[in-house]
Structure 1
Amino acid sequence: MIEDKLILDACCGARKMWFDKNNPNAIYGDIRSETHELIDGRTLEIRPDVVLDFTQLPFPDETFRLVAFDPPHIHDLGKSSIMAKTYGILSYHWRDDIREGLKECLRVLKPYGVLVFKWSESSVKLSDVMPLLPQEPVFGHTSGKHGRTIWMTFLKK
């Protein structure tokens, strides 16, 4: 199954950033597998292909050509809030988690593979995340209604 996949989404959540939420080239991973009934009656599903911890990815070195890494980025949420259910909660040990997650994402990339890292400054400023990066991003872009979401792109050498 993994052999034919080119892309890893290391913490897919509800796959909100995907145009094709069942892209045949991707394997979707998350630490959660759960379903929630929202207050407006909709259903929120977190259904990864593989339940995993992004700090210890269960894949061999140099497996994927592209890795998407959009970890939880808010730490002051109630566990029952819609934001927590949708995106997860940043842990108390978030610095170690992000540092190890980025290292793992690069480990499973093939040489010259691409890592796309998304961060939102909702709770933690990018300036606090930058020292955790294992290498300098090639380029990035700020987006979102208030310009607090940052997309960074890395090339594995």
Structure 2
Amino acid sequence: MSATAKVLDPCSASRMMWFDKRDQRALFGDIRDEEHLLCDGRVLKVEPDVLMDFRQLPFADGIFRLVVFDPPHLTRAGVDSWMRAKYGMLTSDWREDIRQGFAECFRVLEQEGILIFKWNETQVLVSELLALTDERPLFGHKSGKREKTHWITFMKR
């Protein structure tokens, strides 16, 4: 881990939301390290700095100022689909996976650290996810053409 990394993105996938995909302040993690050729010829790369499972983060307690938690949001997708390659898939035990993910993200956050949670509720509602943590969000925002993507901000108690 870089000594300057104060931000953790444990589900970074192809770092789509990042302005600087090599920002030294951030540590990019994912359970996948893979490359996909898309139908239009572009290459989608999932290249984490560290291979990690968001359900069991390999870090000490309270070391990050900010965690960006953008877990896979799909419960169903074709085996070779672009959506699956881009976002990954939830397991059949997704509720427990997300519960553990929230717990781990809050564990590695410093006191009063900030967690940004991003979720697309095309297949699972945000309310179902928020029920999986005891932490309460401060505020949020919906975006996208159908306002299905939610950005929710938490501050660790």
2:144 corresponds in structure 1 to 144
> CA contact under 8 A between 1:102 and 1:134: conserved in structure 2?
no
Aligned to 1:13: 13
Distance 1:3 1:69, change over 3 A: same
Residue 108 of structure 1: CA displacement? Answer: 0.3
Listed as ranges, the gaps of 5+ residues in structure 1 are none
Deviations 1:101-150 (A, max 9, x none): 01100000011110000111110011222211231101111111101111
Report if aligned partners of 1:72, 1:88 keep a CA contact under 8 Å in 2. yes
Measured after TM superposition, the shift of residue 22 of structure 1 is: 0.7
Q: In 1, distance between residues paired with 2:130 and 2:30? A: 23
State the alpha-carbon separation in 1 of the partners of residues 152 and 50 from structure 2.
Answer: 25
Question: Residue 99 of structure 1 contacts residue 134 of structure 1 at CA under 8 Å; is this kept in 2?
Answer: no
Counterpart contact for 2:2–2:24, Cα < 8 Å: no
**Contact in 2 for aligned 1:114/1:156 (Cα 8 Å):** yes
CA distance in 2, matches of 1:11, 1:129: 16
Counterpart for residue 23 of structure 2:
23
Q: Is the 8 A contact 1:121 1:149 kept in 2?
A: yes
1:85-124 correspondence runs (5 A): 85-124=85-124
- Taking structure 1 as the reference length, what is the TM-score of the superposition? 0.97
Counterpart residue number, 1:60? 60
Q: Quote the residue 1:78 is aligned against.
A: 78
Q: What is the letter of the counterpart of residue 61 of structure 1?
A: D
Paired residues, number: 157
CA distance in 2, matches of 1:155, 1:23: 23
Q: Which residue identity does 2:126 align to in structure 1?
A: L
Give every structure 1 segment of 4 or more consecutive aligned residues whose post-TM-superposition deviation is greater than 6 Å. none
Q: Distance in 2 between matches of 1:34 and 1:41?
A: 16
Aligned-pair RMSD on alpha carbons? 0.9
Query: Which letter does structure 2 place at the counterpart of 1:92?
Result: S
1:49 and 1:101 mapped to 2: Cα distance? Answer: 19
Deviations 1:86-105 (A, max 9, x none): 10011111100111001100
Query: Residue type matched to 1:15 in 2?
Result: R
1:42 counterpart = 2:42: yes
Give CA-to-partner distance per residue, 1:27-83, whole Å, 9 cap, x none: 000000001111111111000001010000001001100000000001110121000
TM-score (norm 2): 0.97
